[in-house]
Structure 1
Amino acid sequence: MQLPAPLEAVVEALQKLPGVGTKSAQRMALHLLKEGPQAMEHLGDLLQQAAHKVGFCQECGAFTDRPLCLVCTDTQRDPRTLVVVAEASNVLSFERSGHFHGRYHVLGGLISPLKGVGPDQLRVRELLKRLEDGRIQEIVLATNPTLDGEATATWLARILEPLGLRTTRIGLGLPIGSDLEYADDLTLDRAMEGRRLV
């Protein structure tokens, strides 16, 4: 059975979200339809509000609904440590863990020659400007352990080296609860390289 065109358009829009396939999108659309027009209108209103009110922090590049995000305006945060991430969503992951109490810098992507993304398209100039006042003592490079993430971290480490700052890379290796039997060679190599005293 073919869905009515307006509902099919909703399904197609939902399918563009990461991790949402055809069946999930159909379930969501049908659920909203079942809830009634008010549910769809309410969701539409919320999406419009988010589209117009949520942007990026002028300082770090994280999501915010004001000029500076809550992390950048929090005087309790340690201004000496800066975690550099690729995307604003990565900040949410660190904040969810609750273990890091410093500040962030969002690059807005990763260096990817195959996709035509070079350092000039990232927020590198903004990062270097933030380092000028001398408050930051350590930069933690927290890009994903992918080819693009590694290339970006390596490039940034080279650029930061002359500044004399302590530059570290997040530990990479085996996740908690995983089985060594299923780990790939690169993951095991990283786990061995990142070993520490117990």
Structure 2
Amino acid sequence: MEEPGGPEIARLIALMAKLPGLGPRSARRAVLAMARRREALLAPLARAMADVAERAKLCGLCGNLGTSDPCAICADPRRDPSALCVVEDVGDLWALERAGVFRGRYHVLGGVLSALDGVGPQALRIPQLEARVAEAGVAEVILALGATVDGATTAHYIAERLEGRGLRVTSLGQGVPVGGSLDYLDDGTLGAALRARREF
């Protein structure tokens, strides 16, 4: 059934419905709310989206999403270069930054190993991680991957790849539920998990 508002509004609703957490009904409500407050919501959102579409880029070093390369975290001289926290995706990096408990640097894998989905090591940023560890003076690699089967498989694979390099390889401790994604955890839980990390 076609949206009663016309093809432009229908297209916006269809695009919004593709976002995580929004289905067709939620997208319709969001579009109606924005259209009712065109100057306060819709116009600024459209400008912000155009700015992000034009300026957003991945950091060539860590894989973070930002507007500069290297990103603000990699460029910050106050960050501890000896600690490298490996995460599945940018959302996990942002979750750890929100918690404010880690002052080292990050490495975004871009996913996890999954035989079922055909995701192997070369599809992830594992070779770049090995190169960073080899040349950056890293003393500890923290495997901050979700407590899923694929997350555990990826952590084991990386730990094996880094074995014999004189590194401390740790993983998050208590607080991360099995099957849990870091992006959905509260700041306190993330902080406790990072502080209670253990040898991998």
Please give the range of the TM-score, normalised by the shorter of the 2 chains. Answer: 0.7 to 0.9
Task: Give how far 1:131 is off.
Answer: 1.3
- 1:137 maps to 139
Task: Give how far 1:6 is off.
Answer: 2.2
Number of matched pairs: 179
- 1:62 maps to 64
Q: Deviations over 1:76-135 (max 9, x none)?
A: 111111000010111100100001111100111111111111000111111111112351
- 2:4 maps to 3
Q: Return closer, same or farther for 1:3/1:81 CA change in 2, 3 Å cut-off.
A: same
Q: Out of 143, 148, 151, which is 1:149 matched to?
A: 151
Q: Return closer, same or farther for 1:50/1:126 CA change in 2, 3 Å cut-off.
A: same
Between the aligned partners of 2:173 and 2:138, the Cα distance in structure 1 is 20
- 1:118 maps to 120
Between the aligned partners of 1:2 and 1:35, the Cα distance in structure 2 is 19
Task: Report percent identity of matched pairs.
Answer: 37
Structure 1-normalised TM-score? 0.82
Between the aligned partners of 1:135 and 1:98, the Cα distance in structure 2 is 23
Q: Return closer, same or farther for 1:195/1:48 CA change in 2, 3 Å cut-off.
A: closer
- 2:182 maps to none
Aligned-partner residue type, residue 152 of structure 1: T
Summarize the alignment of residues 5-154 of structure 1 with structure 2, pairs less than 5 Å apart.
5-36=7-38, 39-133=41-135, 135-154=137-156
Q: Deviations over 1:13-58 (max 9, x none)?
A: 1111111123221111001111237843432222121012011111
Between the aligned partners of 1:74 and 1:90, the Cα distance in structure 2 is 19
Aligned-partner residue type, residue 130 of structure 2: L
Aligned-partner residue type, residue 169 of structure 1: S
Between the aligned partners of 1:65 and 1:144, the Cα distance in structure 2 is 27
- 1:158 maps to 160
CA contact (8 A) 2:81 2:136 kept: no
Which structure 1 residue ranges, 5 or more long, are not aligned?
176-190
* C-alpha RMSD over aligned residues: 2.3
Q: Which runs of 4+ in 1 moved over 4 A?
A: 172-175
- 2:180 maps to none
Which structure 2 residue ranges, 5 or more long, are not aligned?
178-192
Between the aligned partners of 2:45 and 2:170, the Cα distance in structure 1 is 42
Between the aligned partners of 1:125 and 1:170, the Cα distance in structure 2 is 22
Q: Deviations over 1:59-89 (max 9, x none)?
A: 1111121111111111111111100001011
Between the aligned partners of 2:138 and 2:197, the Cα distance in structure 1 is 26
Between the aligned partners of 1:168 and 1:15, the Cα distance in structure 2 is 39
Between the aligned partners of 2:18 and 2:26, the Cα distance in structure 1 is 11
CA contact (8 A) 1:84 1:143 kept: yes
Higher Rg: 1
Between the aligned partners of 1:166 and 1:2, the Cα distance in structure 2 is 57
Between the aligned partners of 2:38 and 2:135, the Cα distance in structure 1 is 55
Larger RCO (alpha carbons 8 Å, 6+ apart)? 2
